[in-house]
């Protein structure tokens, strides 16, 4: 079973920020939090990852709760190209990876 839980779907208006939540209450000290997204007919695309501190890159920001039991992926300005399924996964040093069903994000023009 997946070690993370996410809402099945979310909607956002174009050019507005989007906050995608993820719960991982059983996270261990060695688990990294990774986010991927998948567009139709494509393989998953890496978005961002972190361990304890918040992270920023050109695609998104990752906010990690102090107790690490939850995290939020932040897209600062949603575009139509951001419509995808977003996966939050935990990844240990041995690389055991379990994907859940993810969050299907719709962006409304």
Partner 1 sequence: ETGVTQTPRHLVMGMTNKKSLKCEQHLGHNAMYWYKQSAKKPLELMFVYSLEERVENNSVPSRFSPECPNSSHLFLHLHTLQPEDSALYLCASSQDVGGGQPQHFGDGTRLSIL
- Number of residues this chain uses to bind partner 1 (CB under 8 A): 27
91 lines the binding site for partner 1 (CB under 8 A): yes
Q: What SS3 state is found at 81?
A: helix
Residue 73 is a binding residue for partner 1 (CB under 8 A): no
Q: What does the per-residue mask of binding to partner 1 show for 15-54, with x meaning CB under 8 A?
A: ---------------xxx-x-x----xxxxxx--x-x---
Provide CB contacts within 8 A for 56, sequence distance 6+: 62
Check: CB of residue 81 under 8 Å from CB of residue 100.
Answer: no
Q: Which stretch binds partner 1 (CB under 8 A): 6-14, 61-69, 73-81, 85-93?
A: 85-93
Tokens of 97: 């990876």
């Amino acid at each position: 079973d997946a070690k993370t839980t996410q809402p099945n779907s979310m909607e956002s208006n174009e050019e507005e920020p989007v906050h995608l939540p993820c719960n991982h209450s059983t996270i261990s000290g060695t688990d990294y939090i990774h986010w991927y997204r998948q567009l139709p007919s494509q393989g998953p695309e890496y978005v961002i990852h972190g361990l304890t501190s918040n992270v920023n890159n050109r695609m998104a920001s990752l906010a990690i709760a102090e107790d690490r039991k939850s995290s939020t992926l932040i897209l600062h300005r949603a575009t139509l190209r951001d419509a995808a399924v977003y996966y939050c996964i935990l990844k240990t040093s041995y690389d055991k990876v379990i994907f859940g069903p993810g969050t299907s994000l719709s962006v409304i023009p």
